[in-house]
Amino acid sequence: MPQNIPEKRKFTRVIPEEKDPVEVHLMGTLLLDVLYARDISLGGIGIVAPNHFDEWDLNEKIEIIVALPGDLADFRARGVIKQIGKKSKEFGIYGVQFTEMGPKGKQDLNVYVRRMERIGRVLT
């Protein structure tokens, strides 16, 4: 009989609303597509990328700009690719662990996560 094993995540992950997505812009690549967050927390971000995207490898260090919706400021973050999900015909998922983010970015991201929590957008 399977047991319910609690997640070992340090931070609450939330799912952006489709009408107000979290955009991800890549630094230092030739890719012009705007990518989107599947989920986000203070610890990292799940990024949806088109199938033809093969810029990143596991454990690669990256730099991105995260554009939060509404009145919250965009912020620059550095991170490490910690997971590469299976690719479908249309897209793949990249799990990025944040390693560096400024205090304003952290503050605005925290506000965003709390807003999403209040409306039930927590990833369980």
Q: Which carries the bigger pLDDT value, residue 117 or residue 1?
A: 117
**Predicted confidence (pLDDT) at residue 4 exceeds the cutoff of 60:** no
pLDDT at 1: 46
pLDDT at 8: 66
What 3 state SS string does the chain have?
CCCCCCCCCCCCCECCECCECCEEEECCCCCCCCEEEEEECCCEEEEEEECCCCCCCCCCEEEEEEECCCCCCCEEEEEEEEEECCCCCCEEEEEEEEEEECHHHHHHHHHHHHHHHHCCCECC
Mean pLDDT of the chain: 88
Q: Which fold has domain 23-118?
A: Thrombin, subunit H (2.40.10)
Q: Which carries the bigger pLDDT value, residue 18 or residue 60?
A: 18
Specify the pTM. Answer: 0.86
**Predicted confidence (pLDDT) at residue 86 exceeds the cutoff of 80:** no
**Predicted confidence (pLDDT) at residue 18 exceeds the cutoff of 90:** yes
